C-alpha cells in the first residue's frame, strides 16, 4: 500500500517543489526589480536636478540667492554643495550614523567646479527592506498553500486510483467483477469502462476454455466406454491365452489410462468453475480440523499414522473454501499415497511474520526439487495418476492468491513438505 500511496504523493510533491521554486524565483525577481527601480529612479531624479541647476543657474551665486540650502533640505531633502574641483559625473552611496545617502556629482561646463547633490535615502532603504519582508511573508504563505493544496489534491486524486489499484491487485480469474464506475469521479469513468470491457473479454475467454475442456472430455468418454466394453466382451469370449488376449488386456489398460486423464480434465474444468466461487470469511482452523478428522480415519484404514497440530484455535480469513480444499486434499492424498505403511503424515498449522501457513509433512521418498513439479502431466514413477493434481493445485493457488510449494524435509528425515502460505498483506485486508 505504501508504494501506491508514495507513487501519487511523489508526483504531486514534484509539482509542489516546481511551483515553490517558481514562486521563490518570481518573488526574488519582483523584489530586485522594485529595489532597482526605486534606486534608479532616485539616481535619475538627482541627476536631472543637477542638470537643471547647471542649465538654469550657471552662476552658483545666483542659485543660492534664489534657493538657500535650508529650504532645499527641508522641502526636497536634498543638500546642494559646490566643489572647487571638477569631477567626472559620478554616483556614490554611503552610510553615516545608520542613515543612508546617495550623492550625485556633476561638473559645471567651462568651469573647474562641480555641483554635488546629496539625498537621504534611509526611508527608501526601509521601504525596500519592508518590500523584501512582505515578499518573504508572501512566499512563505504561498509555499504553505502550495504544499497544502498539493497534499489535498493528491489525496483527492489518489482515492479513486487507490480503489482501482486495490480492485486490480485483488482481482484474479475467480474474482472478475466489473468496476462500479458510478462510484468513480467523472475523469476516471472512461478508465473504469475500459477495464470493464477488458474484464468481460477475459471472462468470456475463461468460460469458453472451461466449456471446451468439459465438452471435449464428455465427448471422449462415450466412445472410450464403448471401446472398453467391446474389448472386455471379446476378452471374455476369447479363452485362449496368447498374444491376442494380452493385446486385449493392454487395450483395456490403455483405455483406463485415457479415462483417468479425461477424469482429470473434467476435474480441471470443475476447478475452472470453482474459481468463480465467492470468497467467504471463515475460521480456517475449524475447516482444516474437520477435514483432518476425515483423513485421519482414511490414514488408519491404510495402516498409516496421522496427526495434526494447530498453533491457534481460531483464525478468521477470507478465502474460497472449494479452491482451498482442492489444494489441501491434493497435498493430503499425495502424502498418504507416498508414505509407506506404518509411516506418519502430519499437518502443522502455524504463522510467521508475514504468512498463515499450512504444512503437510509425509515420510515418503521425497521429491526432485530440480524439476517443475507443478507442470501439467508431470508425475513420479510411482504415481498412477495422469499428473494433473499438482497442476490443478497450482492453478487454484494462483486464483486464490496463495503460495504453495513442495520441498524435501529439512529436519534430516526422509519425506517431503507441502506448504500453503496465505500472505497477511493480501488476506487480512479484504
Identify the pLDDT of residue 399: 78
Residues 256, 225 contacting (CB under 8 angstroms): no
Q: Where are the strands (E) in 142-265, listed by range?
A: none
Q: What is the mean pLDDT of residues 16-43?
A: 82
Q: What is the pLDDT of residues 40-55, one digit of tens each?
A: 888 888 888 888 877 7
Domains of the chain: 2-144 (no CATH), 170-276 (1.10.287), 280-427 (3.30.565.10)
Q: Which residues contact 5 (CB under 8 A, 6 or more apart)?
A: 158, 162
Identify the pLDDT of residue 350: 93
High-pLDDT (> 70) share of the chain, %: 76
- For residues 170 and 16, the model is more confident at 16
C-alpha 245/C-alpha 234 separation (Å) is 9
Identify the pLDDT of residue 284: 92
Burial label, 387 (beta-carbon count in 10 A; 0-12, 13-18, 19+): middle
Q: What is the pLDDT of residues 393-414, one digit of tens each?
A: 888 888 788 899 999 998 888 8
Q: What is the mean pLDDT of residues 101-119?
A: 82
Query: In this model, does residue 155 exceed pLDDT 60?
Result: yes
Query: In this model, does residue 385 exceed pLDDT 70?
Result: no
- Residue 381 sits at φ, ψ, to 5 deg, of -65, -30
- For residues 293 and 215, the model is more confident at 293
Query: In this model, does residue 261 exceed pLDDT 80?
Result: no
Query: In this model, does residue 377 exceed pLDDT 70?
Result: no
Closest alpha carbon to 260 in 388, 392, 380, 374: 388
- Count of alpha carbons within 13 angstroms of residue 55, beta-carbon side: 6
Identify the pLDDT of residue 7: 43
Helix (H) or strand (E) holding 356: strand 355-361
Alpha-carbon distances of 124 from 78, 121, 188, 338, rounded to whole Å: 14, 5, 55, 97
Most confident of 106-115, 132-141, 279-288, 376-385: 279-288
Q: What is the pLDDT of residues 284-298, one digit of tens each?
A: 999 999 999 989 999
With bands split at pLDDT 50, 70 and 90, how would you rate the model's confidence at 264? low
- Range in 62-66, 226-230, 353-357, 370-374 with the lowest mean pLDDT: 62-66
Distance of CA 166 to the CA centre of its chain: 9
- Count of alpha carbons within 13 angstroms of residue 194, beta-carbon side: 6
Residues 365, 392 contacting (CB under 8 angstroms): no
Identify the pLDDT of residue 12: 64
- Residue 28 sits at φ, ψ, to 5 deg, of -65, -40
Amino acid at each position: 500500500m505504501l508504494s501506491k500511496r508514495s507513487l501519487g504523493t511523489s508526483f504531486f510533491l514534484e509539482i509542489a517543489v516546481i511551483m515553490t521554486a517558481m514562486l521563490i524565483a518570481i518573488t526574488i525577481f519582483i523584489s530586485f526589480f522594485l529595489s532597482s527601480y526605486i534606486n534608479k529612479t532616485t539616481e535619475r531624479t538627482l541627476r536631472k536636478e543637477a542638470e537643471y541647476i547647471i542649465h538654469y543657474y550657471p552662476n552658483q551665486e545666483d542659485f543660492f540667492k534664489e534657493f538657500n540650502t535650508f529650504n532645499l533640505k527641508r522641502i526636497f531633502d536634498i543638500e546642494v554643495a559646490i566643489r572647487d574641483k571638477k569631477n567626472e559625473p559620478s554616483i556614490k552611496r554611503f552610510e553615516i550614523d545608520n542613515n543612508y545617502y546617495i550623492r550625485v556629482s556633476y561638473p559645471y561646463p567651462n568651469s573647474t567646479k562641480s555641483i554635488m547633490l546629496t539625498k537621504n535615502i534611509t526611508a527608501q532603504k526601509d521601504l525596500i527592506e519592508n518590500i523584501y519582508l512582505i515578499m518573504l511573508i508572501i512566499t512563505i504563505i504561498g509555499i504553505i498553500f502550495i504544499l497544502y493544496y498539493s497534499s489535498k489534491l493528491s489525496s483527492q486524486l489518489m482515492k479513486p486510483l487507490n480503489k482501482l489499484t486495490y480492485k486490480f491487485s485483488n482481482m484474479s480469474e475467480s474474482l472478475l467483477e466489473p468496476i462500479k464506475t458510478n462510484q468513480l469521479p467523472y475523469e476516471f469513468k472512461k478508465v473504469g469502462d475500459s477495464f470493464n470491457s477488458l474484464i468481460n473479454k477475459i471472462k468470456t475467454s475463461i468460460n469458453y476454455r472451461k466449456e471446451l475442456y468439459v465438452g471435449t472430455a464428455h465427448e471422449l468418454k462415450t466412445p472410450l466406454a464403448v471401446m472398453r466394453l467391446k474389448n472386455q466382451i471379446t476378452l471374455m469370449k476369447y479363452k485362449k491365452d496368447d498374444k491376442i488376449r494380452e493385446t486385449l488386456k493392454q487395450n483395456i489398460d490403455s483405455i483406463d489410462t485415457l479415462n483417468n486423464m479425461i477424469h482429470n480434465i473434467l476435474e480441471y474444468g470443475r476447478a475452472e468453475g470453482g474459481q468463480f466461487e465467492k470468497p467467504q470469511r471463515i475460521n480456517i482452523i475449524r475447516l482444516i480440523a474437520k477435514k483432518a478428522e476425515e483423513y485421519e480415519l482414511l490414514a488408519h484404514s491404510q495402516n498409516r499414522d496421522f496427526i495434526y497440530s494447530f498453533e491457534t484455535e481460531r483464525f478468521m480469513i477470507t478465502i474460497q473454501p472449494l479452491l482451498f480444499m482442492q489444494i489441501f486434499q491434493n497435498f493430503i492424498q499425495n502424502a498418504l499415497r507416498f508414505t509407506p505403511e506404518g509411516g506418519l503424515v502430519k499437518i502443522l498449522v502455524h504463522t510467521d511474520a508475514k504468512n498463515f501457513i499450512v504444512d503437510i509433512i509425509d515420510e515418503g521418498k521425497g521429491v526432485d526439487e530440480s524439476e517443475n513439479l507443478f507442470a501439467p502431466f508431470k508425475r513420479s514413477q510411482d504415481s498412477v495418476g495422469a499428473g494433473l493434481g499438482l497442476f490443478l493445485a497450482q492453478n487454484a493457488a494462483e486464483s486464490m492468491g496463495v503460495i504453495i510449494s513442495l520441498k524435501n524435509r529439512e529436519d534430516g528425515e526422509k519425506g517431503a513438505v507441502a506448504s500453503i502460505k496465505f500472505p497477511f498483506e493480501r488476506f487480512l485486508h479484504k
